[in-house]
Chains A and B, each alone.
Chain A
Amino acid sequence: MMSIGSVLVSPRRKARARNNSKRLKARAKLRTPWLFISLCMSPWVLGFLFFTAYPMVASFYESFTRFDLINSPTWIGLGNFRRMFFHDSLFWTSIRNTFWISAISIPLRICFALFTAWILTKPKRGRTIYRTIFFIPAMVPTVAATMSFTYIFNPAVGPINKFLESFGIKNPPLWFMDPRWSKWALIILGLWGIGDTMIIYLAGFLDVPKSLYEAADLEGANAWQQFRYVTLPLMTPVIFFSAVTGIIGSFQYFTEAYVAAGQVLDYSHSMYFYATHIYNEAFANYQMGYASALAWILLVITLACTFIMLRTQRRWVHYPNGSLFK
């Protein structure tokens, strides 16, 4: 029986075995080419290792050292952090200025971008032209825009104060040259270049289903109620995204302030922000160890703020059903 069976089965098995070996060979041919993939990925991996991972590890180590670029780093433990919190008045100045600009500019930017985007949903003709016009400032290089604004806000020759004086305002602000007004001038500059944020809000507005407005209309909701109970809840994910990126961006706020401060000699440090402090310590004072410590504190602050934002989002951010981010 066995022998008969084996005789009967044997050719099938042989055929199966042949098929298997073919399959294996085919599979071998199809096997993921790891070597090739690794080679293709290696530029990124090397870039990540050398330009992200290594600098991060190195800066973490250097944050506990005294390092002036000339001499090898010397271990000083928590010395840089003690110096930061107890001996460096500019650290606190920069923190105050950075929190101020974050607290004022982020809500203002959100409101202004939201409003501008909403306005841009209204025109029935020439929409593209209006949207382009509003977006153009965002394309202007930051340095050029800032230098232009220092001229526009120049108290003597700038058109803004000429305009204000024409309305009988005798002592208009000195803007960038007055510590009380310089940050407001920076905020106005930021609002002028709101185009990139506005585009995101515009996409959000256009994404709201028309059927919801029709339903609200049938229920007798007026324009404000439609905005409050239909548009705004559906825009909250975009507002949330904008707020988180805004917070991260505001802690890295640098170019506009650095250029404007250089233009007007900001001795009062009214435009001295945290990123400026890191830059100055690293590349003007060559205190690389101290600058590394400042950078790590920046990371901690940014992470903490982002974490708080993420924790609070459940209370006010409404994701539509089926959203990946729900």
Chain B
Amino acid sequence: MMKKGFIASLATTAIFAGSLVGSAAGAQAAARTVTVWQPQTGDTLAAWQSAMTRIEKANPGLTIKDVGSVDMAKSLSAINAGNGPDISLSNGAGNLGWFCGSGAWQKLNAAISSTKGIKLQSTFTAPAINYSTSGSNRCALPAPGGTEVTTFYYNKDLLAKAGFKNPPQTTSELLTYSKKLTTFNSDGSIKSAGFIPWAGYASNDMDAMWLGWMFGATWFTSSGNPAFVSDTKWARAFNWQKNFIAQVYGGGDYKKGAALVTKFAASAGDFWGGDNDFVKGRVAMMTSMDWMSQMFCDLNWALNPCTKPVVNFGIAALPMDDRLAAHYGSSPVGGALMGISKGSKNFADAWLVLKSLATDAQLATDLSNATGSIPTLISLQNSPKITFPAFYDNVYSITQNKYSGWHGLRNTGAHREETEMNNFMAAWQAGSVSNLATGLGQVVNTVNDILANNYSAGSNG
């Protein structure tokens, strides 16, 4: 009797649950409906939804269901469960190798080159094409309004006071500037710093990336192997870092400099607000994303009109190694991406919507004006409809530089090659790495292990 009762209750629940799943599956199967999941909210989401309405009007019979506030983690879970959207959006370019390699986003190569395709070179800026490509596999298009540029900020007042009119363009100049801009307290601690090349200091988690970029270091070889040892520019970059700390802060003694910088970095003010070291003038130069200029213009994050910025700042490209002076003007450029999910039941319509969204000039204009993001469309470069403060011209020129772009991407999961290199940089500066080449070799092994444990379906990395 007990068994019967138990089985009856189990069956009832199972039938109820089954009916829920069935009805959900039935609802998804509606014809000519494309579902879009994206992390946007508020005004930016409204701009996206306006663009979708335009696409629906231009394509009678097509319905676009847009859901905001959904990050990629949720989208991935749903894609895995078979209930994912047709199109999903991801902020940032770092995970592209993962999405392409794992097959979470479908290959678009055939769709792009078809008659209903898109001419990438004449539509998108070069960096946008670069950061949305993983090897020869294209599984994403650049999303409008999502470009982000790693830039070099400098305090104009402090530089002028030290006799510098322009920002440093080479790593040698950066060292000279820093020496002159750094001041010490009577007890020997750092009072204000020039530039701090230090993992964990005001970095947006991008330390190894900007350091590597300044020296032209590559992340993967052409055959897809980690290049941290084979590309000697990495070793040059890390040696430069130590020399910089020793020269600027330690009077030639790295240990002394590192101890002072550690304490200085530990006492940094809150990065997000008026206590930010750059805002307070505690540090004269720093690397950060272009969108940080919104905070430097107005603590309430308003880029326009920026007539009374909270700190008199300038924005420029990253200084480059003296040997790579010709590359000055370039910087890492990434951006938001969107792709068609694995399991999308309506690829043709999903491609239509994806392409239309990526090339919607009105959407790109609205988002650029709202977020300060450089448009990905060539047709909108220097468009009078987009209003940026004058200093943004430098960000424009970075995105138009032929050397700008993103580093090579393979399926390391959530861009773990960057995490591993950041960790290495921290260990290196802390003095835990006795041999640079051996240490970098260990990072290569780790990244190789990660690659071996990740799928590489549909991607050659």
Contact = CB atoms under 8 A, between A and B. Distances in A.
Contacts, number: 111
A82 to B, nearest CB: 11
B1 A154 contact: no
- In the complex, the 8 A-B pairs of residues with the closest C-beta atoms, listed nearest first: A156-B267, A267-B426, A38-B5, A35-B5, A42-B9, A177-B266, A34-B2, A70-B102
A38 B9 contact: yes
Q: How large is the interface on B (under 10, 10 to 19, 20 to 34, 35 or more residues)?
A: 35 or more
Interface string A226-241: 0000000000000000
Contact of B267 (A34, A154, A267): A154
Contacts of B450: 285
Interface in B250-290: 262-263, 265-269
A283 interface: yes
B263 A267 contact: no
B248 interface: no
Contacts of A190: none
B324 interface: no
B271 to A, nearest CB: 10
Contact of B263 (A36, A155, A264, A287): A155
B73 A283 contact: yes
Contact of B79 (A45, A70, A265, A290): A70
Interface string B424-461: 01110010100000000010011001100111010000
B77 interface: yes
Interface string B361-394: 0000000000000000000000000000000000
A42 B6 contact: yes
A68 B13 contact: no
Contact of A45 (B6, B426, B445): B6
Interface in B8-59: 8-10, 13
26 contacts: A34-B1, A34-B2, A35-B1, A36-B5, A38-B8, A45-B9, A45-B10, A68-B102, A69-B76, A70-B79, A70-B102, A70-B104, A71-B455, A89-B442, A156-B266, A170-B187, A174-B266, A178-B262, A179-B430, A267-B422, A267-B426, A268-B427, A283-B73, A285-B414, A285-B416, A286-B76
A178 B200 CA distance: 12
B413 interface: yes
Contacts of B76: 69-70, 286
B17 to A, nearest CB: 9
A265 B207 CA distance: 12
B267 A155 contact: yes
Contacts of A70: 76, 79-80, 102-104, 342, 455
Contacts of A36: 5
B162 to A, nearest CB: 24
Interface string A32-52: 001111110110011000000
Given A87-B449, A265-B200, A157 B262 contact: no
A177 B102 CA distance: 36
A22 interface: no
A118 B40 CA distance: 55
B453 to A, nearest CB: 6
Interface string B408-430: 00000110100000110111001
A132 to B, nearest CB: 33
B8 A286 contact: no
A66 interface: yes
A84 to B, nearest CB: 11
A1 interface: no
A46 B4 contact: no
A42 B13 contact: yes
Nearest to A88: B449
A83 B449 contact: yes
Given A46-B13, A69-B80, A155-B263, A286 B200 contact: no
Given A70-B455, A269-B423, 14 more contacts: A34-B4, A34-B5, A35-B5, A38-B2, A38-B5, A38-B6, A42-B10, A45-B10, A68-B454, A71-B455, A177-B262, A178-B262, A265-B199, A284-B414
A69 B425 CA distance: 30
Contacts of A155: 263, 266-267
A270 B104 CA distance: 34
A281 to B, nearest CB: 9
Contacts of B5: 34-39
A42 B12 CA distance: 10
Given A156-B267, A285-B414, A174 B262 contact: yes
A152 to B, nearest CB: 14
Contacts of A178: 262, 266
B10 A37 contact: no
A178 B73 CA distance: 32
Contacts of B454: 68
Given A83-B449, A268-B426, A268-B430, A35 B8 contact: yes
A139 to B, nearest CB: 27
Contacts of A42: 6, 9-10, 13
Residue among A45, A71, A269 facing the most chain B CB atoms (10 A cut-off): A71
A66 B453 contact: yes
Contacts of B445: 87
Contacts of A267: 199-200, 422-423, 425-427
Contact of A265 (B9, B187, B205): B205
Residue among A36, A46, A70, A264 facing the most chain B CB atoms (10 A cut-off): A70
A71 B446 contact: no
Contacts of B267: 154-157
Contacts of B98: 286
Nearest to A69: B80
A69 B79 CA distance: 8
